[in-house]
Structure 1
Amino acid sequence: MTALKILILGVVCVQLSCGREFSTLNHIRSKTPSDVQSTAAADLIKRVIGVRASDFLVSVDPSIGPKNRDTFKLVSSGAKLSITGTSGVAVAMGFYYYLKYYCGGQFTWAGQQVALPTVLPVIASPGKVVTSNDQFRYYQNVCTVSYSFAWWDWARWEREIDWMALQGINLPLAFTGQEAIFQRVYMAMGFTDKDLESHFGGAAFLAWARMGNIHGWGGPLPQTWMDAQLILQHQIVTRMRSLGITPVLPGFAGHVPAAITRVFPQANVTRLGGWSNFHQNYSETYLLDFSDPLFSKIGGSFIKAMEYEFGVDHIYNADTFNEMTPRSNDPAYLAAAAKGVYNGMLAGDTQAIWLMQGWLFMEQGFWKPPQIKALLTGVPQGKMIILDLISELYPIYARTESYYGQPFIWCMLHNFGGTMELYGALDKVNGGPSAGRSFPNTTMVGTGLTPEGINQNEVMYEFMNEQAWRPGPVNLLDWIDSYQKQRYNGGNKFTSVAWALLKASVYNSTSGHMDFNGVLYTRRPSLLMKEYIWYDPEQLYQAWDNMVLASTTPALGNNTLFTYDLVDVTRNSLQILSSMYYHDIIAAYNTTNTSQLQTAGQKMVDLLSDLDTLLASDVHFLLGTWTEAARQFSLDVNDTILYDLNSRNQVTLWGPTGQIRDYAAKQWSGLINRYYKPRWQLFVDSLVNSTKTGIPFNNVKYDQDTFSTVELPFSNDHTAFPTTTTGSSVDLAAKFHQKYRSETKSKFFSQFPRKSDRTSAFSKQLARQWGRALA
Structure 2
Amino acid sequence: MRTAMSAPFGRCPALLVLGLLAAADCRFPPLEQLRPAASERAQAAAVSALLQRLLGNRSAEFAVSVNRSLSTDSLDVCELRSGRNHRIIATGSSGVAAASGIYNYLKYFCNCHVSWSGDQLEVPSPLPALSGVLRINTPHRFRYYQNVCTVSYSSVWWDWPRWEREIDWMALNGINLPLAFTGQEALWQEVYRSLGLNQSDIEEFFSGPAFLAWNRMANMYKFGGPLPQSWHVNQLRLQFKILERMRSFGMIPVLPAFSGNVPKGILKLHPEANVTRLGPWAHFNCSFSCSYVLDPRDPLFLQIGSLYLSQVVKQFGTDHIYNTDTFNEMTPPSSDPVYLSAISRSVFASMTAVDPEAVWLMQGWLFFSDAAFWKPPQIRALLHGVPLGRMIVLDLFAETEPVFSYTESFYGQPFIWCMLHNFGGNNGFFGTVESINSGPFKALSLKNSTMVGIGMTPEGIEQNPVIYELMSELAWRKEPVNLTKWVSLYTVRRYGSMHESLSAAWKLLFGSVYNCTVPHYKNHNHSPLVRRPSFNMNTGSVVRPRRPV
For this structure pair, what is the TM-score category when the shorter chain's length is used for normalisation? over 0.9
Say whether the 8 Å CA contact 2:179–2:253 is kept in structure 1: yes
**Match of 1:25, SS?**
coil
| Counterparts in 2 of 1:336 and 1:526: CA distance versus 1, 3 Å | same
For residue 309 of structure 1, the aligned residue among 312, 315, 329 is 315
Whether 1:448 aligns to 2:455 is yes
Say whether the 8 Å CA contact 2:512–2:545 is kept in structure 1: no
What's the offset of the Cα at 1:20?
4.9
**Match of 1:205, SS?**
helix
**Match of 1:410, SS?**
strand
CA deviation vs aligned residue, 1:573-615 (integer Å, no higher than 9, x gap) = xxxxxxxxxxxxxxxxxxxxxxxxxxxxxxxxxxxxxxxxxxx
Unaligned stretches of 5+ residues in structure 2: 1-8
For residue 398 of structure 1, the aligned residue among 378, 402, 405 is 405
CA deviation vs aligned residue, 1:352-379 (integer Å, no higher than 9, x gap) = 1000111111121111111111111111
- Aligned partner letter, 1:7: L
- CA separation in 2, counterparts of 1:220 and 1:132? 45
For residue 174 of structure 1, the aligned residue among 175, 180, 189 is 180
For residue 335 of structure 2, the aligned residue among 313, 329, 332 is 329
Higher relative contact order (CA 8 A, sep 6+): 2
- CA separation in 1, counterparts of 2:545 and 2:31? 49
**Match of 2:518, SS?**
coil
Q: What residue number does 2:193 align with?
A: 187
- Aligned partner letter, 2:524: F
Whether 1:487 aligns to 2:494 is yes
- Aligned partner letter, 1:94: G
Per the normalisation by structure 1, the TM-score is 0.68
Matches within 5 A, 1:514-663: 514-520=522-528, 529-535=537-543
What's the offset of the Cα at 1:524?
6.0
What's the offset of the Cα at 1:19?
8.1
What's the offset of the Cα at 1:299?
0.9
Q: What residue number does 1:32 align with?
A: 38
**Match of 1:472, SS?**
coil
Per the normalisation by structure 2, the TM-score is 0.95
**Match of 1:31, SS?**
coil
Say whether the 8 Å CA contact 1:150–1:203 is kept in structure 2: yes
The percentage of counterpart residues that share the same residue type is 49
- CA separation in 2, counterparts of 1:287 and 1:128? 53
What's the offset of the Cα at 1:528?
5.1
For residue 446 of structure 2, the aligned residue among 428, 434, 439 is 439
CA deviation vs aligned residue, 1:496-540 (integer Å, no higher than 9, x gap) = 1111111111111111432524134655666654322233xxxxx
CA deviation vs aligned residue, 1:529-583 (integer Å, no higher than 9, x gap) = 4322233xxxxxxxxxxxxxxxxxxxxxxxxxxxxxxxxxxxxxxxxxxxxxxxx
Q: What residue number does 1:273 align with?
A: 279
Alignment: residue pair count: 538
- Aligned partner letter, 1:8: L
| Counterparts in 2 of 1:347 and 1:452: CA distance versus 1, 3 Å | same
- CA separation in 1, counterparts of 2:498 and 2:39? 41
Say whether the 8 Å CA contact 1:18–1:134 is kept in structure 2: no
- CA separation in 1, counterparts of 2:129 and 2:531? 53
- CA separation in 2, counterparts of 1:383 and 1:241? 22
- CA separation in 2, counterparts of 1:521 and 1:87? 43
Whether 1:478 aligns to 2:478 is no
- CA separation in 1, counterparts of 2:536 and 2:421? 27
- Aligned partner letter, 1:519: S
> Radius of gyration: which is bigger?
1
Say whether the 8 Å CA contact 2:79–2:90 is kept in structure 1: yes
Moved more, 513-522 or 153-162: 513-522
- CA separation in 2, counterparts of 1:326 and 1:146? 25
- Aligned partner letter, 2:217: M
Matches within 5 A, 1:398-417: 398-417=405-424
Whether 1:157 aligns to 2:166 is no
Q: What residue number does 1:7 align with?
A: 15
Say whether the 8 Å CA contact 1:83–1:91 is kept in structure 2: yes
Q: What residue number does 2:355 align with?
A: 349
Alignment RMSD, CA only? 1.9
| Counterparts in 2 of 1:118 and 1:21: CA distance versus 1, 3 Å | farther
Q: What residue number does 1:293 align with?
A: 299
For residue 365 of structure 1, the aligned residue among 369, 372, 395 is 372
What's the offset of the Cα at 1:201?
1.2
For residue 42 of structure 1, the aligned residue among 20, 44, 48 is 48
Q: What residue number does 2:467 align with?
A: 460
- Aligned partner letter, 1:418: G
| Counterparts in 2 of 1:87 and 1:528: CA distance versus 1, 3 Å | same
Q: What residue number does 1:106 align with?
A: 113
- CA separation in 2, counterparts of 1:440 and 1:31? 33
Say whether the 8 Å CA contact 2:511–2:545 is kept in structure 1: no
What's the offset of the Cα at 1:491?
3.4
Task: Determine which structure has the larger helix proportion and give its number.
Answer: 1
For residue 245 of structure 1, the aligned residue among 248, 251, 254 is 251
- Aligned partner letter, 1:403: F
| Counterparts in 2 of 1:479 and 1:373: CA distance versus 1, 3 Å | same
